[in-house]
């Protein structure tokens, strides 16, 4: 087992002895004894990408036998960030690569000199706006925020078609969304709609009156939509697509007319990470055509690369009514907007 | 030369002083008993000797070697002191058989299995428990358990054996038999022992030497008979048996002429009258119930006086009389069956050498025959 | 000769002179450093990890004046009291039925009531969120079939309901052991004095077991006030925050407000410490000697036809707390989609295949859990032995300090302790952070009071002279412990180990703050699956967790003949 490297798991004589004594060894001692993966081959990815997606992608990479083995730490966007910041503060970084669905922190980290000064050879495949001006981070996947409904509960004719209709009082107690404070995509949703000329704060106040259920993640929302408990929820487009393809879930995606909020999920190498050289190999793979096709193939997520075509059933990215985001403003207004959101919802 | 020397031992628990400057010396082959009521510090002293307690000042030395002396920073751990101990609760390990209980010390000392087997059998035979190696403590009676406990202490042939009220959990008959057996064994093997008990008759049988303790201090020490017949304080007198106690009237006494007056007006002739001059403390006249005799009413001897019978109890070999002696209570034991009834007047006589003059070390308590 | 012996001793110090202070110092550090970080955080102007710019009371004032924080504090008090009342109602009545009435099958009921303890409240909340899902869940379907309004499990009532169900065993255990251990002659004396059955109950029985009941209730209150999993699953979806979930959000949103989290932790610490203090007062003031532990055969009351009502009540409880949750978890774990259509078509073993073969992270989590839980339980028990030796068997001057010190984690909610530990071990320049060691240390630190108390109760039953007797035949401390203490403590130790094992397998709060890549554990995987929204694998993992706990209880209980509920009561 990989966990049992020398700095890692419990393999010292004392705990081993007590452990064996406990009588529940179940042959686990053999685990402790196995040869550990060489430190120079080990790369650690900290990501908010759900492990059901990140794991298969990383597995494809690990199976390529590049000489680098990637381990994944999954948590929600800001938990990952908190961890990275805590580790940086104490100067004992475990993370080599950070991949979270919020570009804001990358701006901060770059300003603090924490991003590795490394430009991937694939940089030209990523248009400006999809990467750092100096190329220290690159958008690793593009997430579109839409909403979806359960078509067993609601017919397509009845279902809302725009954000405006989404917030209608008719849907009171049927709506769900992710808590804007909990994740990058949710914040992006707030940022885009709140700054949209037709929606704005008015729309959010209207939405707050529907008893919108706020959750910590889109997954829980999806489960409760599939079961019919919350028939209409704010969603990430690839989530919906993946549920329909893989599990034939009774849900349908709606790409609202007003705006499709876009979240960048940048990837970048942390300068003080333990294995910069190994990290580059994984980083380059992730941004390569093969990497991007692998990721898109797992869950239908949009790739920022124009040479990776969306999977069947997904509208072409160009056809989406997206809004350009000024990342600096996006990042700077975060605290104020989160506070505004808190006040609107009385949290 | 003394084998075990306890010198000026002081033991405090927080602000409470359990043992205050006790000094005891025990000769080789001697059985010394620490006797006293519960809370007198006897068990604490024993545990300090054993090393189960540390103490605050003084020293304990065995055969010339200092075992513990806080002033010098010496403390030999109990397991290295070469002492054996028999506990009040037997302290047999319930999960070990008799054989395992007895042999643990040898096993720790890395004695060969064959030798262990032989020595266990020998020692069990010695305590009258031969052939019980395979049994477990909970299948033994209290007396048997105490024998095993003794065997466990004996098998290591310690320099000195410590007994902590070993018989107090047994019933009376067994207790009386065991004390003779223990005494016999100790004498036969020539073992030096410190024995703690609150039972004076046990102490009398077991000991060569008794140390009477009270409130952490030694009140008196000496041979059993000595302490019984010549107690020096009210505490020692009462603790070792019954005693008639009469408060001394110093003003009316004439120590120089051997005369000691008591508060009811009677004046005793006493061999110890001189003791009145030795201290200013409250004093008592004391004599044991069996030391007085009853004589015919008209006999006029020294230390003869009349008293009224309050009650008579026939005890078999003796008769016990409760008397009223000019307002003071007296208790007498006379041989055989003495016939008298309440209200009778009897004449009591007592030899001058049996009239003791002792310190009243508990003057607040009203004097009553014990 | 004399001198040589003394100098010899200097060269070879006794093992306990190293072990006792060593263990004491290590434990003190493990407990006090994390708290130190929290104190610092609560009063510091700048967050931990940034340069210090002085101290302030502003954080604490903010927490105690801002209505949002006050609301969270209020919510904590409401849910904790509500859960305590519900748990007590169930626990006390069940205990009375089982211990004192002729209800049929008391042993089976007793076992059934205990089951919720072996799954976790967090998993229970997940199960109930599935059961009571609007229009979909089994309960909702049954309710609507009878024309009853649907239950909204995402409510204060829902939180109280689930916590009440899952903490009822705590009160139950305290009460049954008190009832079993009460000398029946005390009640008989009441009857002889002319009291009728009701008067005996209210004047004698209840006052006598009141300390035990109150202890159980306060334990429940303290535990539910520190609960994270249940309010996270059932409260946050309708924006209902309690202190623990609020603290979690304060630390886990961006930018994090760690100073506020520390201050809020103080409030929770205060509430919990107050509860513990009250409990200690009650136990100290009223420890009746009647509770002798002798195990009397109590007087059984014939409740006639009510027996069957009682059985119905017991079965309903067992249904709600164990059978239904396990059924729904089991069902969801073997279907591809959880929808209102209960259909064979969805049946699949994919989730289990995924659990054991599809995803090495899952497998690793299982392995880590199965490695951590037994070793942490073992370590905690070993430390508890040493600590109890120091406090009960020695006169070391610092033993009273140790006694208080090891009890501190009782009054520190684990959310709070975990944050402090994260910072402590990130800063500590030892290979602890980012490994399984941090979880091991976290588990041991968080539950050391539990281990110490549990071991102490068996320790006190061993006569000190048994150990001294070993010393007197030449055994040193280690040998004494090995030859005498351990064998005698064995049943109690196995019981304590089992309890800790169960707790550690379930442990979520500490784990979620301290885990790293490669040190995932099952509870965290369950939580993450929930956050990611993956009912199938989530339920498969939860079923695996229940299975491992059940297997260990069964096997260890069978091998060592240990009744877990006895250990639990101590």
- Please report the DSSP string for B249-288 in residue order: -GGG-BGGGTEEEBTTS-EEE-TTGGGGGT--S-EEEEE-
pLDDT (mean) for B232-248: 90
Closest-CA distance, A19 to chain C, in angstroms, reads: 5
Q: Which residue of chain A is at minimal alpha-carbon distance from C382?
A: A18
- Give the whole-number percent of chain C exceeding pLDDT 70: 91
pLDDT (mean) for C161-168: 93
Q: Which residues contact B139 (CB under 8 A, 6 or more apart)?
A: none
Strands (E), chain A: 42-47, 69-74, 97-99, 137-150, 175-178, 213-215, 232-236, 251-254, 262-269
Contact C474 B85 (CB under 8 A): no
Strands (E), C75-207: none
pLDDT (mean) for C280-296: 51
Closest-CA distance, C495 to chain B, in angstroms, reads: 18
Tell me the pLDDT tens digit for each residue of C124-133: 999 998 888 7
Q: Is B266's pLDDT higher than 70?
A: yes
CA–CA distances in Å: residue A281 to residues A130, A270, B103, B198, C274:
20, 14, 68, 85, 55
* Interface membership of C552 toward A (CB under 8 Å): yes
Which residues in chain C touch residue B74, judged by CB atoms under 8 angstroms apart?
6
Q: Cα(B308)–Cα(C205) distance, rounded to whole angstroms?
A: 57
Please give the pLDDT value at position C2: 39
Q: Is A114's pLDDT higher than 60?
A: yes
Q: Which residue of chain A is at minimal alpha-carbon distance from C528?
A: A75
CA angle C434, C436, C442 (to 5 degrees): 95
Which residues in chain B touch residue C482, judged by CB atoms under 8 angstroms apart?
none
Q: Tell me the three state secondary structure of residue C556.
A: helix
Please give the pLDDT value at position A36: 43
Q: Is A157's pLDDT higher than 80?
A: yes
Using the Cα atoms of residue C114, residue C120, residue C124 and residue C127 in order, give the sign of their dihedral: negative
Contact C473 B53 (CB under 8 A): no
Q: Which residues of B touch C (CB under 8 A)?
A: 50-54, 64-66, 74, 76-80, 83-85, 87-89, 91-95, 104-105, 108-109, 149, 152-153, 156, 162
Of C563, C475, A332, which Cα lies nearest the Cα of B85?
Answer: C475
Q: Is C311's pLDDT higher than 50?
A: yes
Q: A89 or B267, which is more confident?
A: B267
Please give the pLDDT value at position A287: 94
Q: Cα(C158)–Cα(C240) distance, rounded to whole angstroms?
A: 12
Q: Cα(A299)–Cα(B293) distance, rounded to whole angstroms?
A: 116
Q: Cα(A188)–Cα(B10) distance, rounded to whole angstroms?
A: 78
Question: Is C71 within 8 Å of C148 (Cβ atoms)?
Answer: no
Chains B and A touch (3+ CB pairs under 8 A): no
Across A161-165, A294-298, B28-32, C206-210, least confident range: C206-210
pLDDT (mean) for B136-165: 91
Pick B109's closest partner by Cβ from C474, C487, C488.
Answer: C474
B258: left (phi over 0), alpha (psi -120 to 50) or beta: left
pLDDT (mean) for A54-71: 90
Q: Is C491's pLDDT higher than 60?
A: yes
Of A297, A307, A268, which Cα lies nearest the Cα of A57?
Answer: A297
Across A277-291, B243-257, C129-143, least confident range: C129-143
Closest-CA distance, C487 to chain B, in angstroms, reads: 7
Contact C239 A220 (CB under 8 A): no
Q: Which residue of chain C is at minimal alpha-carbon distance from A105?
A: C254
Pick C475's closest partner by Cβ from B50, B76, B79.
Answer: B79
Environment class of C202 (CB within 10 Å of its CB; exposed 0-12, middle 13-18, buried 19+): exposed
For residues C176-197, b (16+ Cβ closer than 10 Å) or e, as one string?
bbbbbbbbeeebeebeeeebee
Chains A, C: CB pairs < 8 Å: 201
Q: Which residues contact B285 (CB under 8 A, 6 or more apart)?
A: B245, B246, B247, B248, B260, B262, B268, B270, B355, B356, B357
Q: Which residue of chain A is at minimal alpha-carbon distance from C520?
A: A73
Q: Is A110's pLDDT higher than 90?
A: yes
Environment class of A62 (CB within 10 Å of its CB; exposed 0-12, middle 13-18, buried 19+): middle
Closest-CA distance, C28 to chain B, in angstroms, reads: 25
pLDDT band at A16; cut points 50, 70, 90 = very low
Please give the pLDDT value at position B8: 93
Which residues in chain B touch residue C15, judged by CB atoms under 8 angstroms apart?
none
Environment class of B93 (CB within 10 Å of its CB; exposed 0-12, middle 13-18, buried 19+): buried
Count the alpha carbons within 13 Å of C204 in the hemisphere toward its beta carbon. 21
Query: Looking at this predicted complex, what is its ipTM?
Result: 0.82
Residue B115's CB is within 10 A of a number of other CB atoms, namely 10
Which residues in chain A touch residue C19, judged by CB atoms under 8 angstroms apart?
none
Q: Which residue of chain C is at minimal alpha-carbon distance from B150?
A: C469
Q: Tell me the three state secondary structure of residue A106.
A: helix
Q: Cα(B207)–Cα(A126) distance, rounded to whole angstroms?
A: 103
Of C239, C225, C96, C99, which Cα lies nearest the Cα of C160?
Answer: C225
Neighbour subunits, B (≥3 Cβ pairs < 8 A): C
Q: Tokens at residue A215, please?
A: 């959750």
Q: Cα(B259)–Cα(B271) distance, rounded to whole angstroms?
A: 9
Residue of C472, C487, C488, C489 to mutate for B, most B C-beta atoms under 10 A: C472
Tell me the pLDDT tens digit for each residue of C8-22: 344 355 777 778 888
- What's the N-to-C CA distance of chain A in angstroms? 44
Q: Cα(C545)–Cα(C369) distance, rounded to whole angstroms?
A: 9
Closest-CA distance, C239 to chain A, in angstroms, reads: 7
Please give the pLDDT value at position A202: 95
Across B231-235, C290-294, C511-515, least confident range: C290-294
Please give the pLDDT value at position A35: 36
Contact C476 B79 (CB under 8 A): yes
Give the H or E element holding residue C489: helix C486-506
pLDDT (mean) for A4-18: 40
Q: Is A1's pLDDT higher than 60?
A: no
Q: Is C7's pLDDT higher than 60?
A: no
Q: Tokens at residue C111, please?
A: 């076992």
Q: Cα(C179)–Cα(C187) distance, rounded to whole angstroms?
A: 11
Pick C426's closest partner by Cβ from A1, A86, A250.
Answer: A86
* Interface membership of C518 toward A (CB under 8 Å): yes
Q: Is C188's pLDDT higher than 80?
A: no
* Interface membership of C5 toward B (CB under 8 Å): yes
Count the alpha carbons within 13 Å of C12 in the hemisphere toward its beta carbon. 9
- For C:32-51, CB contacts with A below 8 A are 48-50
Q: Is A3's pLDDT higher than 70?
A: no
- Give the whole-number percent of chain A exceeding pLDDT 90: 41
pLDDT (mean) for C413-426: 83
Contact C469 B91 (CB under 8 A): yes
Q: What are phi and psi of A127, to 5 degrees?
A: -65, 155
DSSP-derived secondary structure letter, B158? -
Environment class of C50 (CB within 10 Å of its CB; exposed 0-12, middle 13-18, buried 19+): exposed
Contact C338 A222 (CB under 8 A): no
Pairing label, strands B57-62, B2-13 = antiparallel
Pick B152's closest partner by Cβ from C2, C395, C473.
Answer: C473
Residue of B18, B50, B61, B77 to mutate for C, most C C-beta atoms under 10 A: B77
Which residues in chain C touch residue A72, judged by CB atoms under 8 angstroms apart?
361, 517
Contact C488 B85 (CB under 8 A): no
Q: Cα(C7)–Cα(C5) distance, rounded to whole angstroms?
A: 5
* Interface membership of C469 toward B (CB under 8 Å): yes
Question: Is C193 within 8 Å of C184 (Cβ atoms)?
Answer: no
Across A253-262, B149-158, C8-17, C226-235, least confident range: C8-17
- For C:256-315, CB contacts with B below 8 A are none
Contact A8 C519 (CB under 8 A): yes
Q: Cα(B202)–Cα(B220) distance, rounded to whole angstroms?
A: 17
Pick B74's closest partner by Cβ from C6, C395, C469.
Answer: C6
CA–CA distances in Å: residue C415 to residues B126, C223, C380, C412:
65, 12, 20, 8
Of A337, A327, A334, which Cα lies nearest the Cα of A106?
Answer: A327
Q: Is A31's pLDDT higher than 70?
A: no
Q: Which residues contact C255 (CB under 8 A, 6 or more apart)?
A: A334, A335
Pick C483's closest partner by Cβ from B87, B104, B149.
Answer: B104
Residue C215's CB is within 10 A of a number of other CB atoms, namely 20
Which residues in chain C touch residue B108, judged by CB atoms under 8 angstroms apart?
473-475, 479
- For C:486-505, CB contacts with B below 8 A are 487-488
Helices first, then strands: H and E counts in chain B: 8, 21
Q: Which residue of chain C is at minimal alpha-carbon distance from B80?
A: C474
pLDDT band at C297; cut points 50, 70, 90 = low
- Give the whole-number percent of chain C exceeding pLDDT 90: 14
Q: Is C235's pLDDT higher than 50?
A: yes
């Amino acid at each position: 087992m990989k966990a049992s490297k020398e700095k890692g798991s419990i393999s010292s004589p004392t705990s081993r002895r007590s452990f064996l004594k406990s009588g529940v060894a179940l042959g686990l001692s053999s685990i402790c004894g196995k040869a550990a993966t060489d430190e120079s081959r080990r790369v650690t990815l900290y990501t908010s990408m759900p492990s059901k997606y990140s794991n298969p992608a990383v597995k494809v990479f690990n199976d390529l036998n590049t000489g680098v083995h990637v381990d994944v730490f999954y948590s929600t966007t800001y938990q990952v960030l908190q961890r990275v910041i805590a580790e940086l503060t104490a100067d004992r970084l475990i993370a080599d690569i950070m991949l979270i669905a919020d570009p804001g922190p990358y701006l901060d980290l770059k300003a603090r000199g924490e991003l590795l000064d490394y430009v991937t050879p694939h940089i030209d495949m990523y248009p400006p706006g999809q990467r750092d001006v100096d190329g220290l981070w690159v958008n690793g996947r593009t997430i579109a925020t839409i909403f979806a409904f359960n078509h067993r509960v609601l017919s397509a004719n009845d279902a809302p078609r725009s954000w405006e209709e989404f917030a209608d009082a008719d849907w009171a107690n049927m709506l769900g969304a992710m808590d804007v404070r909990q994740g990058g995509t949710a914040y992006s949703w707030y940022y885009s709609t709140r700054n949209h000329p037709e929606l704005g704060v008015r729309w959010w106040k209207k939405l707050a009156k529907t008893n919108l259920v706020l959750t910590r993640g889109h997954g829980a929302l999806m489960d409760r939509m599939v079961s019919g408990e919350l028939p209409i929820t704010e969603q990430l487009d690839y989530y919906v697509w993946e549920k329909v393809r893989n599990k034939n879930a009774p849900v349908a995606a709606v790409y609202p007319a007003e705006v499709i909020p876009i979240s960048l999920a940048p990837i970048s190498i942390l300068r003080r990470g333990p294995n910069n050289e190994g990290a580059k190999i994984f980083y380059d793979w992730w941004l390569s055509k093969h990497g991007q096709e692998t990721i898109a193939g797992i869950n239908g997520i949009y790739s920022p690369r124009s040479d990776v075509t969306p999977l069947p059933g997904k509208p072409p990215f160009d056809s989406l009514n997206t809004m350009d985001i000024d990342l600096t403003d996006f990042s700077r207004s975060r605290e104020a907007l989160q506070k505004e959101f808190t006040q609107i919802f009385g949290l | 030369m003394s084998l075990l020397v306890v010198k000026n031992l002081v033991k405090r628990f927080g602000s409470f002083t359990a043992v205050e400057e006790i000094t005891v010396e025990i000769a080789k082959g001697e059985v010394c008993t620490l006797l006293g009521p519960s809370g007198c510090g006897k068990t604490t002293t024993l545990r300090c000797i054993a090393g189960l307690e540390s103490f605050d000042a003084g020293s304990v030395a065995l055969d010339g070697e200092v075992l513990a002396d806080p002033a010098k920073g010496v403390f030999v751990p109990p397991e290295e002191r070469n002492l054996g101990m028999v506990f009040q609760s037997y302290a047999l390990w319930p999960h070990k058989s008799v054989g395992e209980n007895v042999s643990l010390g040898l096993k720790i000392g890395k004695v060969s299995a064959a030798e262990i087997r032989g020595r266990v059998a020998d020692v069990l035979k010695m305590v009258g428990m031969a052939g019980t190696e395979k049994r477990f403590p909970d299948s033994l009676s209290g007396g048997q358990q105490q024998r095993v406990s003794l065997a466990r202490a004996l098998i290591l042939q310690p320099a000195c054996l410590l007994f902590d009220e070993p018989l107090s959990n047994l019933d009376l008959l067994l207790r009386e038999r065991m004390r003779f057996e223990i005494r016999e064994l100790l004498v036969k093997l020539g073992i030096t022992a410190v024995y703690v008990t609150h039972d004076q008759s046990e102490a009398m049988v077991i000991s060569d030497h008794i140390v009477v303790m009270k409130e952490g201090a030694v009140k008196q020490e000496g041979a059993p008979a000595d302490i019984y017949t010549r107690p020096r304080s009210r505490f020692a007198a009462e603790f070792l048996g019954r005693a008639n106690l009469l408060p001394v009237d110093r003003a009316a006494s004439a120590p120089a002429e051997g005369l000691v007056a008591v508060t009811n007006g009677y004046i005793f002739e006493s061999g110890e009258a001189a003791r009145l001059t030795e201290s200013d403390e409250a004093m008592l006249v004391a004599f044991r119930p069996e030391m007085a005799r009853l004589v015919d009413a008209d006999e006029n001897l020294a230390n003869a006086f009349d008293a009224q019978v309050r009650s008579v109890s026939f005890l078999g070999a003796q008769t016990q009389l409760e008397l009223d002696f000019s307002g003071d209570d007296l208790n007498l034991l006379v041989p055989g069956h003495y016939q008298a009834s309440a209200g009778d007047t009897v004449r009591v006589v007592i030899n001058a050498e049996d009239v003791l003059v002792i310190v009243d070390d508990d003057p607040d308590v009203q004097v009553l025959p014990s | 000769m004399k001198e040589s012996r003394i100098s010899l001793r200097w060269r070879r110090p006794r093992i306990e002179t190293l072990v006792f202070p060593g263990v004491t110092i290590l434990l003190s550090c493990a407990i006090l450093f994390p708290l130190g970080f929290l104190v610092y955080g609560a009063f510091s102007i700048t967050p931990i990890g940034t340069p210090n710019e002085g101290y302030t009371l502003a954080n604490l004032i903010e927490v105690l004046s801002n209505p949002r924080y006050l609301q969270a504090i209020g919510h904590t008090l409401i849910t904790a009291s509500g859960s305590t009342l519900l748990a007590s109602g169930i626990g006390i009545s069940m205990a009375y039925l089982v211990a004192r009435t002729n209800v049929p099958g008391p042993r089976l009921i007793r076992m059934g009531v205990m089951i919720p303890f072996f799954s976790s409240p967090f998993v229970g909340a997940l199960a109930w969120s599935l059961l009571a899902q609007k229009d979909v869940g089994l309960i909702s379907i049954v309710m609507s079939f009878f024309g009853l309004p649907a239950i909204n499990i995402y409510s204060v009532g829902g939180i109280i309901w689930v916590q009440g169900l899952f903490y009822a065993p705590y009160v139950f255990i305290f009460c049954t052991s008190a009832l079993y251990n009460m000398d029946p002659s005390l009640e008989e004396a009441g009857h002889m004095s002319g009291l009728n059955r009701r008067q005996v109950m209210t004047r004698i029985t209840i006052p006598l077991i009141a300390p035990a009941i109150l202890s159980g209730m306060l334990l429940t209150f303290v535990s539910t006030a520190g609960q994270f999993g249940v309010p996270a699953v059932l409260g946050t979806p309708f924006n209902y925050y309690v202190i623990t979930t609020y603290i979690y959000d304060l630390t886990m949103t961006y930018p994090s407000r760690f100073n506020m989290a520390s201050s809020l932790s103080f409030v929770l610490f205060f509430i919990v410490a107050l509860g513990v203090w009250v409990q200690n007062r009650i136990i100290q003031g009223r420890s009746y000697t009647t509770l002798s532990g002798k195990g009397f055969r109590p007087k059984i009351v014939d409740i006639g036809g009510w027996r069957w009502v009682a059985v119905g009540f017991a079965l309903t409880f067992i249904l709600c707390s164990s059978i239904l949750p396990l059924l729904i978890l089991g069902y969801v774990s073997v279907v591809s989609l959880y929808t209102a259509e209960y259909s064979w078509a969805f049946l699949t073993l994919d989730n289990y295949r995924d659990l054991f073969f599809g995803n090495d992270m899952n497998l690793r989590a299982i392995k880590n859990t199965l490695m951590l839980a037994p070793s942490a339980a073992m370590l905690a028990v070993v430390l508890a032995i040493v600590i109890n030796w120091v406090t009960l068997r020695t006169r070391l001057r610092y033993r009273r300090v140790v006694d208080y010190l090891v009890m501190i984690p009782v009054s520190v909610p684990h959310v709070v302790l975990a944050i402090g530990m994260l910072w402590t071990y990130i800063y500590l320049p030892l290979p602890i952070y980012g490994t399984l060691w941090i979880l091991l240390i976290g588990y041991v630190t968080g539950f050391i009071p539990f281990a110490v108390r549990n071991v102490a109760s068996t320790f006190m039953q061993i006569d000190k002279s048994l150990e001294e007797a070993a010393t007197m035949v030449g055994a040193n401390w280690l040998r004494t412990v090995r030859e005498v203490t351990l064998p005698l403590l064995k049943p109690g130790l196995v019981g304590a180990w089992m309890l800790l094992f169960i707790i550690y397998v379930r442990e979520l709060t500490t784990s979620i703050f301290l885990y790293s890549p490669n040190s995932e554990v099952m509870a965290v995987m369950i939580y993450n699956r929930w956050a990611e929204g993956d009912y199938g694998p989530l339920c498969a993992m939860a079923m695996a967790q229940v299975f491992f706990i059940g297997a260990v209880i069964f096997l260890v209980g069978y091998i060592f003949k240990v009744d877990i509920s006895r250990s639990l009561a101590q």
